[in-house]
Amino acid sequence: MGNREHVRGGSNASERWLDAAEALATARERNRVLEVPLLVEGKRDQRALVLLGFTGPIERLNRGWPLERVVTHLFERYGARHPVDGGPTIMLLMDWDRTGGRLQRTLREKFLSFDASVDEQLRRRLMVALKPETKVVEGMIGLIDALRPLVDRFDQTSSTSM
């Protein structure tokens, strides 16, 4: 594989990075095609996703509002279930450190109190795949040169199979 030589990490780094790229491509396609937003902590997290090719809505948690207000705003804007596929209306992507884990749980509970489902698959997969290299979403900025071509390849594959 041409991009594997750019991958940093241990002996299983190529497999981990391919899993991260596949997860990012799947989320990117859902974000682009169905306009399912990703909720991230701040501006640098948003920038990392834009650099990874996300073109759909990206919402930020840190906007000077209490968590309850952010969740209410997002629920009012996106609803409880996606109108096209009935799936989650928002993807939660908090950092995979201790603070991010607490935020993720709190946000999940607040959305569930509105009977709104959330997609946490991307965070789960990135947590396993990229934890040796980074524990934060914005940390992917330093991995863009190796990760973006892999994500693009998976996204093209999934687009052609539709």
Question: Using CA atoms, how far apart are residues 87 and 107, in angstroms rounded to an integer?
Answer: 17
Contact at 8 Å (CB) between 110 and 65? Answer: no
CATH code, domain with 131? 3.40.1360.10
Q: What confidence tens digit (pLDDT) does each residue in 98-140 have? A: 999 999 999 999 999 999 999 999 999 999 999 889 999 999 9
The pTM (predicted TM-score) of the whole model is 0.88
CA torsion sign, 7 to 128 to 141 to 46? Answer: positive
Query: Within a domain: residue 57?
Result: yes
pLDDT at 11 over 80: no
Write out the residue range of the structural domain in which residue 33 sits: 12-153
What is the number of domains present in the chain?
A: 1
pLDDT at 6 over 50: no
Query: Within a domain: residue 159?
Result: no
Question: Using CA atoms, how far apart are residues 95 and 107, in angstroms rounded to an integer?
Answer: 13
Query: Within a domain: residue 72?
Result: yes
Average pLDDT over residues 134-162: 85
Secondary structure element (H or E) that encloses residue 73, with its range: helix 67-78
Query: Within a domain: residue 71?
Result: yes
pLDDT at 90 over 50: yes
Query: Within a domain: residue 94?
Result: yes
